[in-house]
Amino acid sequence: MDTAVTNGVTYYYKVSAVNYAGTSAQSVETSAVPGPWAVPGIVQAENFDIGGEGAGYHSTATSNWGGFYRTNEAVAIEQTQDVGGGYDVCYTSGGQWINYTVNVATAGVYTVDFRISGYGGGPSTSRTHPATT
């Protein structure tokens, strides 16, 4: 994982898979742009800001308990079981937070929807905090 990146800068990568059978051929070149995320738009929970503990997130965990995606971060991320796949942030607890940098196209009032779940019947509360533009 490339952790020495700057938000808003486009990076280009070719990747290979490595397992017990050896190393695959390199992929075609693809690009990645770490935040800020465009609003209006979709911000995926697992794409929080880079910077680690105290900057991108605060977590009481010491590792990624979910074991997927950003495995060098102490935020638990697992593969989602939903249609379409992807990842979700999991095993959270009170006092933890995740930071997202967004680029708001036009100042105004926006509705924010959260897609959340929980163990044993789902979450009982959800909080949102106002932001300034």
- 91-109 tens-digit pLDDT: 888 788 888 888 888 888 8
Residue pair 98/57 in contact by the 8 Å Cβ criterion: yes
- Specify the pLDDT at position 122: 58
pLDDT of residue 30: 57
Does any domain span residue 110? yes
Q: Would residue 88 count as lying in a domain?
A: yes
Residue 52 forms part of a structural domain: yes
Place of tokens 């006092």: 95
Domain around 112: 35-127
Report the CATH number that the domain containing residue 65 is assigned in CATH.
2.60.120.260
Q: What local confidence, expressed as pLDDT, does residue 112 receive?
A: 79
Cα(65)–Cα(77) distance, integer angstroms: 7
10 falls within a domain: no
Collapsing DSSP to helix, strand or coil, 38 comes out as strand
Residue 16 falls within a domain, yes or no? no
> CA 59 → CA 21, 23, 69, 99, distances in Å?
36, 34, 17, 11
Confidence (pLDDT) at 126:
53
In percent, the amount of the chain with pLDDT more than 70 equals 71
Closest by alpha carbon to 65, among 51, 75, 57? 75
Q: Are 128 and 112 in contact (CB under 8 A)?
A: yes
Per-residue pLDDT tens over the stretch 44-71: 888 888 888 998 889 988 888 888 888 8
* pTM strictly above 0.75: no
What pLDDT does residue 73 have? Answer: 87
Average confidence score pLDDT of the chain: 77
Alpha carbons 120 and 97: distance in angstroms, whole number: 22
For tokens 């074991």, name the residue.
Answer: 67
Q: Is residue 30 part of a domain?
A: no
User: Is the separation of the CB atoms in 77 and 70 below 8 Å?
Assistant: yes
46 located within any domain: yes
Helix, strand, or coil (residue 102):
strand
Number of domains in the chain: 1
pLDDT digits (tens, 9 = 90+) for 3-49: 666 666 666 677 777 877 878 787 666 555 566 888 888 888 888 88
First to last CA, the chain: 32
pLDDT of residue 101: 85
111 belongs to a structural domain: yes
Name which residue leads in pLDDT, 112 or 98.
98
